[in-house]
Amino acid sequence: MSINWFPGHMAKTRRQIKENLKLVDAVIEIRDARIVKSSANPDIEDICQNKPRIILLNKSDLSEEKVTKQWVKELSNEHTKVLSVNCLKGLGLKNIKPALDEMLKEKHDNLRSKGVVNIVTRVMVVGIPNVGKSTFINKLAKNNIAKTGDKPGVTRNKQWIKTKIGIELMDTPGVLWPKFEDETVGLDLAFTGAIKDEIMDIEDLALKLIETLQINYPERLKERYKLPELSESALENMDNIGKKRGAVIARGNIDYNRVAVMLLDEFRGGKLGNISLEKPEK
């Protein structure tokens, strides 16, 4: 299943990030806690280099807590702090200001020695589409300045947003890289909604998700869809899910589109339980 999506505005965003990096003190990169590696744009790593960075593992309420803790330990280093958060509920966001202050202590001490009293920290917010950047900004700013949506590609232009805690945020559109060398990365992004469903074969995508879940989380599938047993065939499991949910059309055929939409919606909404599609040891 080939996945390749790189709209023109994303190439423009990559240029913007490079050009505007000198305007900020630090970078906040938002990733999906369920697919920590797949939701990391390698371009961001290269572009930001040694700029102080905070990685927010968003939607951590949908991932396995023990796996997310492993990722926090794995990704933390001298220049990078990693926080587990839920941007929608605001969980974990109170730790951002102290983390920034600690990382920028030398710079802030230098400014205070020159008589600067009200220090404003300017931060660039980056991440792939639909990972929660606008939701994070709105929560931190306590308003709805940044546009939000449950579809990728909502934010298109650079925006500056002020907060009441001495942080100014530069919002940027979500940016993916031009080509996914690993098909698994593309699938993980598609499973979680980072890639538009409209450009996907949604029935094939749902079948791939069943293949993944029946290997890694078989009990979740059985429990959610009341299946006594799972078949080795993902298609047969999809048929049985369709029958259990009444997605049957003329002559007993399965309405695969209906099953696909339902399955993806329920997975993305956490109704199959806490799932981490990637673990550090992999």
Return phi, psi of residue 238, to 5°: -65, -40
Q: Is 76 annotated as a binding residue?
A: no
Which residue is listed with tokens 């949506």? 149
Q: Is 273 annotated as a binding residue?
A: no
Q: Is 237 annotated as a binding residue?
A: no
Q: Is 59 annotated as a binding residue?
A: yes
Q: Is 58 annotated as a binding residue?
A: yes
Q: Is 265 annotated as a binding residue?
A: no
Q: Is 174 annotated as a binding residue?
A: yes
Q: Is 13 annotated as a binding residue?
A: no
Alpha helices in 125-254 (DSSP H): 133-141, 183-191, 202-216, 218-225, 234-244
Cα 220 to Cα 60, 180, 200, 202, 227: the distances in Å are 18, 28, 25, 21, 10
Cα 80 to Cα 50, 67, 108, 174: the distances in Å are 9, 19, 18, 20
C-alpha 256/C-alpha 241 separation (Å) is 10
Q: Is 130 annotated as a binding residue?
A: yes
Helix axis angle for 218-225 and 234-244, nearest 10°, is: 20
Q: Is 90 annotated as a binding residue?
A: no
Burial of 136 (0-12, 13-18, 19+ CB in 10 A): buried
Q: In the beta sheet, which residues pair with residue 124? A: 27, 170
User: What tokens were used for 191?
Assistant: 């499973």
Q: Is 132 annotated as a binding residue?
A: yes
Q: Does residue 101 contact residue 108 with C-beta atoms inside 8 Å?
A: yes
End-to-end CA distance of the chain: 21
Extract the annotated binding site: 58-61, 130-135, 174
Extract the annotated binding site for GTP: 58-61, 130-135, 174
